[in-house]
Structure 1
Amino acid sequence: MRWVVVVPVKPAADGKTRLAGVLSASAREGLVRAMALDTIAAAVVTPEVLRVVVVTADEPLRRLLGGTVDLVDEPGGGLNGAVRAGIERAAVRGDGVAVLLGDLPALRPDDLADALSMASAHERAFVADADGTGTTLLAALPGVVLDPQFGPGSAAAHELAGHVRLAVGAMSTVRRDVDVPDDLVEVARLGVGPATRAVL
């Protein structure tokens, strides 16, 4: 099965505020963009991914991405508003749609392929983050409507809404997002992509 992957990315100045205690504002901005670039690059080269749709208002990131992805303007309404705008663009072709958060700098294409393969067995599915409380990947089969519930406790919210929690292994890079300083240590141990490595 083939997928269109939606990656929402906040403006870098607004991202990863919980890292403010260990990074300057400019370093945090650079890290947000670098993590997004590495996440998107891994998705683009995953064989099961037909197209990547990036929803962002971050102009430097848009310039860096150039024509490699389908860019959508962020409509407002926070993360879920951005996700819905990306889903609307992605669903035009009738492929499976997966939402992938843009803070997975250690993401490996084979791990993403495995998660998407697992998702293809369910109408709606999701991958929980390493803590088990957040969501890093949300997926639906062609023609099935996704209702994003990103935010605190999103894993429970998605499960309650009928999405199947996928049994993705604890060490899968799909589960390793970055929110707090300890997460940076973990993804560095796994091996981050080139953009993030340059910033770190």
Structure 2
Amino acid sequence: MTFSRVQPSPTKWSVVVPVRDFTTAKTRLRAQLPNGVVSDIAQQLAVRVVHALNACAAVEQVCVVSDVDLSETLSFGKARVMVQQPGGGLNGAVREGIARAFREAPINPVLVLHADLPRTTSSSLAALLARAEKVGRDSYLPDSSGSGTTSLVLFPRSGRQPAFGVDSARRHAELGFARLQFPRWNGLRNDLDTFEDLVAMQAGGRVPFWQAAEVSAKAVRDSVSHLSFASRARDELVMRAGVSLPRIFG
């Protein structure tokens, strides 16, 4: 009698995406761009990340956690939105999302992923999840500076807690999370927090952010007249990058 080899089922993942109210998100970027433009950027970033998660075969469910109800914008495909308890902040939102993910799918490992990663794709997510599964223990991915954290991985029965905030990479390492090894230029290590981040991404030619995120070019152009570009450091950054303001805001 011949028996066929049974292949193990591929690991399915639950993903928690903390998302701040679009009207208050990206505070550092608000110091350099009009509020309406930044709110639009924050929304399009989150939508882009959720689309990428929906397209990733290894992702079974997505829990978006926010301080406001974003169901109308982000509850589609595999994603569902929950509103966190008041006063919990980012780490509180992540803890609530992790708890819900493990309740609904106890055997799934959980990925915590920030929503401000414009270069997120289904293939980059698949590579991250495959690497995390190979490591086989709770782990973290630092941002491009090496000091922050863009994602966390927790396996079932993990007792570790998220420690997002200043120097979160160091604190996650101290808590016993293993560091996932990806190069600095990897899209999942590059979040968008400042005007300089935006210029660097445009200058690098890696992501035509305004086109990819479908931010209204007209809204941005209309807002330019309200901006002050008197900052010499900002002007020099733009000149070094070889990017004209019309290109960034066009």
Q: Which TM-score applies when normalising by structure 2?
A: 0.74
Structure 2 equivalent of residue 62 of structure 1:
71
Give the 3-state SS of the residue equivalent to 1:137 in structure 2.
Answer: strand
Matching residue of 2:238: none
- Amino acid paired to 1:198: V
Amino acid across the alignment from 2:147: T
Distance 2:170 2:110 in 1: 20
1:199 Cα deviation (Å)? Answer: 4.2
Residue among 41, 46, 50 paired with 1:40: 50
Amino acid at match of 1:104: L
1:198 aligns with 2:215: yes
CA distance in 2, matches of 1:136, 1:65: 19
Q: Which runs of 5+ in 1 are unaligned?
A: none
Shift of 1:195: 6.1
Count of aligned pairs? 199
| Structure with max Cα Rg | 2
Report the alpha carbon displacement of residue 194 of structure 1 after superposing the two structures with TM. Answer: 5.9
Match of residue 83 from structure 2: 73
The one-letter amino acid paired with 2:83 is D
1:39: how far off? 1.1
Gaps of 5+ in 2: 1-10, 218-250
**Within the alignment, does 1:29 sit opposite 2:39 as a pair?**
yes
Deviation at 1:73, TM superposition (A): 0.8
Quick one: distance in 2 between partners of 1:63 and 1:41? 14
1:120-174 per-position Cα deviation (integer Å, ceiling 9, x unaligned): 1232101000111100010012222341000011000000000011111222111
Q: Does 1:102 align with 2:111?
A: no
Alignment check: 8 A CA contact 1:125 1:164 kept: yes
Equivalent residues of 1:105, 1:187 under 8 A apart: no
TM-score (norm 1): 0.92
Residue 172 of structure 2: aligned partner: 158
Q: SS of the counterpart of 1:4? A: strand
What corresponds to 1:8 in structure 2?
18
Judge conservation of contact 2:160–2:175 (CA < 8 Å) in 1.
no
Q: Does the residue aligned with 2:93 lie in a helix, a strand or coil?
A: helix
Q: Is the 8 A contact 2:20 2:66 kept in 1?
A: yes
Taking the aligned partners of 2:151 and 2:180, their CA distance within structure 1 comes to: 10
In the TM superposition, structure 1's runs of 4+ consecutive aligned residues that sit over 6 Å from their partners are: none
Equivalent position of 1:83 in the other structure? 94
Superposed, 1:150-189 pairs within 5 Å as 150-188=164-202, 189=205
